[in-house]
Structure 1
Amino acid sequence: MYQKLRTGLLAVTMAFSLPAMAENYTIGTGSQSGTYYPLGGMLAKIWSENLPDFNMRAEVTAASVENTIKVSTDKQLVGIAQGNVVLQAANGVKPFPKKLDVSVLFSLYPNVVQFIVPAKSDIKSIADLKGKRISLGAPGSGTRVSAVNILNTLGITEDDITAQSLNYTATTSALANNQIDAGVVVGSVGVGAITELALTRDIRIISFSEDELAKITKDYPSYIQIDVPADAYNKVPAFKAPAVWNVLVVNNNMSEEMAYNMTKVAFENMDKIRQVIDVTKYTTIENMAKLQGISLHPGAEKYRKEQMK
């Protein structure tokens, strides 16, 4: 009897003395050769170090589409995604079969749609892509969604090309080895995959015409025009391209307190993130709601309004 009582008391004592276990979360990123992965790693580190009972790791994924789906089904706490993909998810537009319960924590930086070709290629414009072998991006990626949407808007369907579904690394490798004629990478200016390719191969990035950009922004208002200067990549001439804001996508059901605290901690530590991820110079309080057509999560909006006073 005494032994049973002693064992019971010991169990109760341990229950009260053990520290609370931290909750484990993931942030969906993209391939390791893009910007999403290191940015997600930095955010995970900042949140883990500054939020109580919070432990997060960055997960390699196919990027925007996969991240948005996983966030909506509570398989990830937060994901990095292209704004146009999140808008399509919120509205139930293909590739999503129905409306998903998602909202935005805050906007990050613009992602540029970059059609890459060898420098000596006879492909001089988007129209010249007809009949060519093109990597449109990995399945489940925002790159593929953007590439298909833009080509369709400009009168080119997948039937007009020989389409391949390669991620960033495979796309640049295939270009380097003349296995494809063009490849699409949707990422920040200076994205690692293109930077590395430009150091070993002579390449160009197709420049969109003013008429093409006008058609794209008419059909997809979430896009903006970006003028990229010469030598943003090694020996690559200046080019014009459509761009769309990347965002942090979260589930609508995330608590207001958690959304507020995650937003607050991220911006309080943004200088540390900028030391590692240069494009986060665009990640500001003023740009939080840059993506039109979808609301910020109430917790994030509360923080934004406090800071804008």
Structure 2
Amino acid sequence: MRTYLFSAFAIAMLCTGNTPSIANAYDPQLLRITTGSVSGVYYEIGIELCRTINKRRYVHMHYCVVEGSSGSSENLLKLASGASELAIAQSNALAVFISNKNETTNDLEVLASLYNEALHVFVRADSNIAKFADFKGKRINLSERGSGTRVVVDDILEFADLKKSDFPLVLELDPISQISALCEDRIDVSFWVSATPNLIASEILDRCDVVLMDLADIVGEQEIVARGYKISKLSPEDYRGLGAPISSLSVEAVLVKSVHLSDETVSVIAGSISEGQVVLQRNSRFLGGFEFFDD
């Protein structure tokens, strides 16, 4: 179980006297959190975080708003450009973003670790797909550009030495659109990276003639671990229809900030979340094990 560091951080801020000042009542500081699809977990978490911060907005004079997006890559672009103050993203997407090594991307850092997200690989039951090598010649959905899922898919397909030219049909569908595409037999393969269990994944498995692919053929590869993935499992407790646990890969969902965010604002975020920790965990099952990183 993870150690909760919010309370210790907030106490440290209080003890050093580095607490938020009461700002001009008519000039609150805006905190924009870019998240993801309005039907997704990132958006849900953004709402809960903002609700917690805004409870004391007239004391610390910071007002939090949630903004939807296509996912991790777009969130990080907005954060780096100054169009938001916070972003929720996948750890591997952040690593790819920072690896571009320009002045803007180096200004981002992880504020908190939220939870793990697993890779779901959906294949049509009649597609005769059992491993990544079987993808060749199949109709595939890579997921929409800008999403954390797309970052993972591009990375995994590169690792498996698969190219777009290997597929007769390549789509870039959003999470909701992939459901009908799988159910109506318009694609053979699709992907989804999310916390487990997940409603979209459950709906796909319940409605469509689809199974989850076991990733046993790649999880043991050292290069996969070197790329920042963790070995994980999807179990029958997560999804009905799974007769036994199957191998998967996971990444972390993280809360990211700019290094230029003031100490006062970081204190407000840490203090608000520390005070509202019990409510956050009650309202969102995905916030039961977050870890806050201070300096």
Alignment correspondent of 2:76: 68
Question: CA offset at residue 178 of structure 1?
Answer: 1.3
Check whether the contact 1:92–1:98 (CA below 8 A) recurs between aligned residues: no
Of the three residues 102, 105, 108, the one matched with 1:102 is: 108
Which stretch shifts more, 270-279 or 30-39? 270-279
Question: CA offset at residue 60 of structure 1?
Answer: 1.3
The TM-score normalised by the length of structure 2 is 0.83
* Corresponding letter in the other structure for 1:173: S
Deviation sequence 1:100-130 (CA, Å, 0-9, x none): 4211111111111111123343111222111
Alignment correspondent of 2:204: 197
Question: CA offset at residue 199 of structure 1?
Answer: 2.8
Check whether the contact 2:219–2:249 (CA below 8 A) recurs between aligned residues: no
Question: CA offset at residue 68 of structure 1?
Answer: 0.5
Question: CA offset at residue 86 of structure 1?
Answer: 0.9
User: For the residues of structure 2 that align with 1:131 and 1:268, how far apart are their CA atoms?
Assistant: 53
Check whether the contact 1:203–1:236 (CA below 8 A) recurs between aligned residues: no
Of the three residues 88, 91, 95, the one matched with 1:80 is: 88
Larger radius of gyration: 1
Deviation sequence 1:1-43 (CA, Å, 0-9, x none): xxxxxxxxxxxxxxxxx94243333211111232111111111
Question: CA offset at residue 137 of structure 1?
Answer: 1.3
Cα pair distance change 1:132/1:216, threshold 3 Å: farther
Question: CA offset at residue 168 of structure 1?
Answer: 0.7
Alignment correspondent of 1:157: 163
User: For the residues of structure 1 that align with 2:230 and 2:133, how far apart are their CA atoms?
Assistant: 20
SS at match of 1:279: helix
Alignment of 1:255 onto 2:262: yes
User: For the residues of structure 1 that align with 2:38 and 2:242, how far apart are their CA atoms?
Assistant: 23
SS at match of 1:139: coil
Of the three residues 31, 56, 61, the one matched with 2:64 is: 56
User: For the residues of structure 2 that align with 1:276 and 1:234, how far apart are their CA atoms?
Assistant: 24
SS at match of 1:168: coil
User: For the residues of structure 2 that align with 1:215 and 1:33, how far apart are their CA atoms?
Assistant: 35
Alignment of 1:43 onto 2:43: no
1:139-218 aligned at under 5 Å gives the runs 139-161=145-167, 162-209=169-216, 211-218=218-225
Q: Please, which runs of 5 or more residues in structure 1 have no aligned partner?
A: 1-17, 289-299, 303-309
Higher relative contact order (CA 8 A, sep 6+): 2
Alignment of 1:272 onto 2:287: no
Alignment of 1:90 onto 2:83: no
SS at match of 2:98: helix
SS at match of 2:196: coil
* Corresponding letter in the other structure for 2:205: A
* Corresponding letter in the other structure for 1:83: S
Question: CA offset at residue 215 of structure 1?
Answer: 4.1
* Corresponding letter in the other structure for 1:194: A
SS at match of 1:57: strand
SS at match of 1:185: strand
Residues paired across the two proteins, number: 268
User: For the residues of structure 2 that align with 1:32 and 1:249, how far apart are their CA atoms?
Assistant: 19
User: For the residues of structure 1 that align with 2:223 and 2:144, how far apart are their CA atoms?
Assistant: 22
User: For the residues of structure 1 that align with 2:140 and 2:229, how far apart are their CA atoms?
Assistant: 22
Identity %: 24
User: For the residues of structure 2 that align with 1:19 and 1:148, how far apart are their CA atoms?
Assistant: 47
Alignment correspondent of 1:301: 294
Check whether the contact 2:80–2:105 (CA below 8 A) recurs between aligned residues: no
User: For the residues of structure 2 that align with 1:270 and 1:216, how far apart are their CA atoms?
Assistant: 37
* Corresponding letter in the other structure for 1:224: K
Check whether the contact 2:218–2:224 (CA below 8 A) recurs between aligned residues: no
SS at match of 1:131: coil
Q: Please, which runs of 5 or more residues in structure 2 have no aligned partner?
A: 1-23
Alignment of 1:115 onto 2:115: no
User: For the residues of structure 1 that align with 2:159 and 2:82, how far apart are their CA atoms?
Assistant: 33
Deviation sequence 1:223-271 (CA, Å, 0-9, x none): 1011121241231343211111110111111112212331232233222
Check whether the contact 1:33–1:168 (CA below 8 A) recurs between aligned residues: no
Check whether the contact 1:154–1:212 (CA below 8 A) recurs between aligned residues: no
Check whether the contact 1:153–1:219 (CA below 8 A) recurs between aligned residues: no
User: For the residues of structure 2 that align with 1:109 and 1:216, how far apart are their CA atoms?
Assistant: 23
